[in-house]
Amino acid sequence: MAARARGGYGTGRSIVLGPESSCDETAVALGTSDRQILAQRIASQDEAHRPFGGVVPELAARAHAERLAPMVETVLAEAGLTLADVDGIAATAGPGLIGGVMIGLVTGKALAMAADKPLIAVNHLEGHALSARLTDSSLEFPYLLLLVSGGHCQLLAVEGVGRFRRLATTIDDAVGVAFDASTEVMGLGFPGGPPVELAARGGDPRRFALPRPLLGTDEPHFSFAGLKSAVLRSWAALDAPGAQAQADMAASFQAAATDCLVDRTARAMAVAKGPLVVAGGVASNAHIRGALAGLAETHGRRFVAPPAWLCTDNAAMIAWAGVERLALGLVDGLDAPARARWPLDPDAAPARGAGVRA
Ligand code: KG4
Ligand code: ZN
């Protein structure tokens, strides 16, 4: 069992319990201020949602409600701890599917109240944003973050815990959505990213001439809707496409998406200091990581990417964000609201276009 010091923020080792249920993974982790994950569990709901080709919010919420409390008990038991041993409860309070967010936050509040521990209401995006600091103790603020997930595609200047300046966002779809849509049209299954990455390894990235929306423009933002529809159109135009066509389309799509990410990130490097960091589910893609590493090297910047398991949704990053906030005394009341939307930079100027992901 772990030794720890108690009493007062920022003194000694603290242990934070983090539940996460904002999308379709139910997860719980116990993280410490000296960057240990004492125990963690994650249950994917891919099987439940696969027949529908996407996450069904009601199914997700029901599964979270059934799994979360037993998972908290399992994780505590695995670490040989009880609730009395933890220093704070960090629950995801948004953004995400509101049913799941409410279940996670209410669970967190109940645990905090029952054990008389501070509640830390964590922004899921801040969990992704700080995840690289969990596995790289030398990563200091400020850094330039490319946050690429199923719901978001942003460039942020990360100046500290809770201190973000949004430099760019998508004016339509997130890059993860484009991965998911491409996989679906090619019949490669759900969720999207990993099958595209796998198929692309044996494909020709030049076979399909796909667009690179906003490449080279002065506007800082991303756009992926045009690329997504080009994949759908090019695929529909094929006569009885087989495995090689899948591989070539996956490679062509991945190359186009990567070019867009690299181009927009290069532009942001001119205005944001520090290492280049990538986070979020799409950051687990080895091709994209390689391209970003190359970009950073060209600019003489350090490149930091968390391990792949820490890029896709997990509770370790929520517990870690809780550790970071607790160390600064950033705790929340039991009236903390569940939020479907929760931008990291509430002062960011609105980007053009409908359906903007703040
Ligand atoms: O961060 P995440 O797990 O959940 C959200 O907060 O959205 O990101 C999920 C997204 C999905 O769109 C999924 O297709 C994508 O990350 N993804 C990938 C890979 N693994 C997951 N995209 C590209 N390549 C991958 N290997
Ligand atoms: Zn996420």
Which residues does 143 contact at the CB level (< 8 Å), separation at least 6? 132, 157, 158, 272, 273, 274, 275, 276, 277, 304
Cβ(95) – ligand 1 distance below 6 Å: no
Cβ(149) – ligand 1 distance below 6 Å: yes
In the chain, the amino acid numbered 221 is: H
Strand order in the sheet with 25-32: 37-44, 25-32, 15-20, 88-94, 119-123
Maximum pairwise Cα distance, the chain: 68
Q: Which residue has the higher pLDDT, 52 or 188?
A: 188
Cβ(176) – ligand 1 distance below 6 Å: yes
Residue 190 predicted with pLDDT over 80: no
Q: Residue 189 has which token pair? A: 């299954």
Q: How far apart are CA 252 and CA 282, in angstroms?
A: 16
Q: Measuring from atom 3 of ligand 1, which residue has the nearest CA? A: 312
Is residue 61 within 8 A of residue 103, CB to CB? The reply is yes
Confidence at residue 12, expressed as pLDDT on a 0 to 100 scale? 84
Confidence at residue 104, expressed as pLDDT on a 0 to 100 scale? 96
Which residues does 75 contact at the CB level (< 8 Å), separation at least 6? 17, 28, 29, 30, 39, 40, 41
Cβ(20) – ligand 1 distance below 6 Å: no
Confidence at residue 11, expressed as pLDDT on a 0 to 100 scale? 55
Residue 350 predicted with pLDDT over 90: no
Q: Which of 14, 41, 37, 16 is nearest to 28 (CA)?
A: 41
Residue 357 predicted with pLDDT over 80: no
Q: Measuring from atom 1 of ligand 1, which residue has the nearest CA? A: 281
Confidence at residue 56, expressed as pLDDT on a 0 to 100 scale? 85
Least confident segment among 7-21, 109-123, 150-164, 262-276: 7-21
CA atoms within 13 A on the CB side of 178: 34
Cβ(191) – ligand 1 distance below 6 Å: yes
Confidence at residue 9, expressed as pLDDT on a 0 to 100 scale? 46
Q: What ligand is nearest to the CA atom of residue 192?
A: 1
Q: How far apart are CA 171 and CA 224, in angstroms?
A: 8
- CA 177 to ligand 1: nearest atom: 12
What are the tens digits of pLDDT across the range 286-315?
999 999 999 999 999 999 999 999 999 999
Cβ(253) – ligand 1 distance below 6 Å: no
Q: How far apart are CA 227 and CA 173, in angstroms?
A: 10
Confidence at residue 130, expressed as pLDDT on a 0 to 100 scale? 98
What is the three-class DSSP state of 347? coil
Q: Residue 270 has which token pair? A: 């001119």
Is residue 321 within 8 A of residue 311, CB to CB? The reply is no
Q: Helices in 210-330 by DSSP H: which ranges?
A: 225-236, 243-269, 286-298, 308-311, 316-327
> For a substitution probing ligand 1, which of 42, 312, 341, 344 has the most ligand atoms within 8 Å of its CB?
312
Pairing between β-strand 25-32 and β-strand 37-44 as defined by DSSP bridges: antiparallel
Q: Which residue has the higher pLDDT, 79 or 7?
A: 79
Residue 255 predicted with pLDDT over 90: yes
Residue 343 predicted with pLDDT over 90: yes
What are the tens digits of pLDDT across the range 103-149?
999 999 999 999 999 999 999 999 999 999 999 999 999 999 999 99
Is residue 134 within 8 A of residue 316, CB to CB? The reply is yes
Residue 254's pLDDT band, with cuts at 50, 70 and 90, is very high
- CA 151 to ligand 1: nearest atom: 7
